[in-house]
Amino acid sequence: MLYAVGRVSRNRFHRSSFNLGVWLRQFRRLRPTLRTTPRILTVTWALGIQAAAAAAAMADLVDHPSSRWDQSAAAKTGRVHPCPPPDDGELNNLVDGTEDASGNLSVNLPAAACKYTPPDAATLGKGAAPSNGLTTTEKLEAYAGLGYVGLTLALTIAYLHMLSPVMANDLWWAGFNSTGAQSYIIDVVNGELNIVANRSLDLTSTTTGLPYDYSTFYSPIRIAPTYPRTVLDQEYHNLTTVLTSLQEIAAPDMSIPTQFCWVDFNRTWEMAHTKMRQKRCIDRYRANAAVYFESTARMINWKTWMAAKESEFNITIGNALRKSAAGDAWISRTANAFKDVASEVAVWERAGLTHYTLQYNNILSWGIQERIHIQNAFGGNQAISIKSVPTKSRGALWTTIVMCWLPWNDINLGAWMGYSLVRSDPDNQQFTPPCSYDDYLANPDTYDCDPCKAPWNPIPGDCWPDFELFYNLPDLPGVQMVSAGIGPFGSIDLFLVFAPPSLMTLASTYQAQLSVMAQASDSFYGAVNVIPEYKTDPVPTPWTAEPYLYFGGDPTCPLRDPMPFVQSSFAYDVSCTKQVRHTMVLNAFNSIFALLASSPAPSAATICAQCPTMAHECAAVVTPAATAAKAFRDVYAMHDEWVGQINAARDDVVKLGVGTMQLAIHATDETNAFLFQTLLSSTPSSWDFFG
């Protein structure tokens, strides 16, 4: 047996000091093993002696050979060979006679090793030296092992190459990238959400095809600018969602786009600016919680709001209520009335409130965040953003301020003027001279007096200003027509009118069938693909019957200069200082739809004759669109389902009475002309194509 102890260097042995007690305890445990080990046992202490160093040292003990046999033996240098076991009796006796020791006890022991002597020829027989070469079997095994490793590596590389398309993204979806499949999915989902709020969608269906190229480096995401506000309005009927959001409101006079009609849910105290608007409240807005001061007053920290706005509240609302026991009771009951969302929903429902609809107002550009989750076959989910639009303040571009300037301006201006917002209170502006509160008390139902207008005031405007006069607008034709034709500035209600469901169904059907036909028929696809996209400037024929000068079709911009062309119409992102010609974009999608929905479809010449300066661009779109529309009608549009959907959508749009307007004056006699054209008429007309 070989025992390597201490440090070996060039045939000389050095002693090593170590912890004797620890070593003896270790050796006593190992002794039975040492005695029965048949070949080689190397013991390495924590002192840092390593087996490799011992093996290298043993190599140094070999004498330099001088004969051919010695040269052969020298080839084995580096191997550790067994030698006869030494007499370890002395060491055993030492171990047996030693007890366990503690502390730092050390002793010097001589290091022992045996010297390797190579066998001679007589030992091996016939003078043959041992061979270190591989046998044939060993060579075959080695080659087979190398082949196995090489084949494994090759197959691994091939497998990774095969997996690379699906491993390129977290979904394991081959070919899925941000500008291709991801952009397509986002566009499909966004298109569906514009028409249908929620339904199952088969992405492999030919009905979901889109006419866009997704092979390019840049694939823009298409988001309808009206979508955020549409989603907001869709949530107004979910009272739980509304009340959860209202918990974030700190005060009733914050920038909530609304005008109040009543203080309380019982409709005891009226708050509209004018008698006509109060009538509108009774006729149309009774179920709308947003027109009640109480709906937000119940939600806030009353003490905090009173600390900031007690004076303004008392002047505009509180003093009027405290003149009666019912008013005092309402204040006590309303302050800090909110308990939880479920209880508040019950309160609203008992009051007959079914929705919380805010007014159309462009004080903000509404933002929205929407995501979809894609799940792969392994159950893994990937969230993908389909819309990310931040909410922004429009600042000086807040044009709807002239329609109504929201509750905080009512309360602040009313308090500054000493006005009560409660219509039945003697401090309300409607009872200032020359009008009288006594006349109101004599017969409230028939009382009709406006302190700032004729015939009640012989000098109109010489009065305590009402909310319209606060705007200090000049007496221009645009201001006159909006005030007389729509309503007094500061008291105009703006609400979004949603497209009727029948129209949404028709649009969805058309979109799906257009996609199917474009993929099924090369001729139809070619007919659609050649239709260009141009701007046109359609004007209703009655608007050009007289020599008019036009101020535009946006009542929030009544101060525009008159122009000889029809100016831009109503828009959310309008800029009143920008006066441009009214235009409409015509493309393949909307032109084919308009031709199919028109019954009977007018000729391209008749349609484009309504474009004063862009008739050529109009004809360039409508003429090829008519060819595609005929092919579509021949295949699908004459089905009863399609015809029924067209008629239902047309009837519903006509009932809504929606249209486009334009403020104008006669160029000769300068008389005002409030021009209006419905989108669709009850009888077919050439304007139906643009409507």
Each residue's pLDDT tens digit, 672-688: 999 999 999 888 888 99
pLDDT for residue 667: 94
User: Quick one: tokens of 502?
Assistant: 């029948």
Of residues 254 and 19, more confidence is placed in: 254
pLDDT for residue 98: 54
Tell me if 395 is assigned to some domain.
no
**Does the structure show a pLDDT above 50 at 42?**
no
Tell me if 469 is assigned to some domain.
no
User: Quick one: tokens of 394?
Assistant: 């429009």
Burial of 504 (0-12, 13-18, 19+ CB in 10 A): middle
Tell me if 636 is assigned to some domain.
yes
pLDDT for residue 75: 41
Do 509 and 550 have their domain in common?
A: yes
Cβ contact 314:414 at 8 Å: no
pLDDT category, 199, cuts 50, 70, 90? confident
What average pLDDT does this structure show over 261-282? Answer: 97
Of residues 382 and 450, more confidence is placed in: 450
User: Quick one: tokens of 234?
Assistant: 């869709």
Which residue, 562, 595, 567, is CA-closest to 580?
A: 567
Do 327 and 187 have their domain in common?
A: no
Do 355 and 218 have their domain in common?
A: no
Of residues 39 and 538, more confidence is placed in: 538
With H, G, I as helix, E, B as strand and everything else as coil, classify residue 59: helix
pLDDT for residue 493: 97
pLDDT category, 354, cuts 50, 70, 90? very high
The amino acid sitting at 533 is E
pLDDT for residue 93: 59
Do 265 and 206 have their domain in common?
A: no
pLDDT category, 26, cuts 50, 70, 90? very low
pLDDT in tens, 604-656: 999 999 999 999 999 999 999 999 998 888 877 566 778 889 999 999 999 99
pLDDT category, 254, cuts 50, 70, 90? confident
With H, G, I as helix, E, B as strand and everything else as coil, classify residue 649: helix
pLDDT in tens, 280-300: 999 999 999 999 999 999 999
Do 656 and 569 have their domain in common?
A: yes
Do 569 and 646 have their domain in common?
A: yes
pLDDT for residue 691: 87
Do 278 and 217 have their domain in common?
A: no
pLDDT in tens, 78-118: 444 455 555 555 555 555 555 554 444 444 545 445 555 55
Cα–Cα distances (Å) from 514 to 191, 214, 618, in that order, read 14, 19, 22
**Does the structure show a pLDDT above 50 at 661?**
yes
Range of the structural domain that residue 249 is part of? 226-359+404-424
Cα–Cα distances (Å) from 19 to 24, 25, 45, 108, in that order, read 9, 10, 10, 10
Tell me if 316 is assigned to some domain.
yes
Cβ atoms < 10 Å from Cβ of 408 = 16
pLDDT in tens, 113-150: 555 555 555 555 555 555 667 888 888 989 999 999 99
With H, G, I as helix, E, B as strand and everything else as coil, classify residue 158: helix
Do 306 and 420 have their domain in common?
A: yes
Report CA Rg, the chain: 47
Please identify, among 222, 249, 284, the residue that sits at the C-terminal boundary of a domain. 222
Do 195 and 255 have their domain in common?
A: no
Predicted TM-score (pTM) of this structure? 0.74
Structurally, the chain folds into a number of domains equal to 3
Please identify, among 377, 396, 424, the residue that sits at the C-terminal boundary of a domain. 424
pLDDT for residue 21: 41
With H, G, I as helix, E, B as strand and everything else as coil, classify residue 599: coil
Please identify, among 222, 255, 282, the residue that sits at the C-terminal boundary of a domain. 222
pLDDT category, 498, cuts 50, 70, 90? confident
Tell me if 99 is assigned to some domain.
no
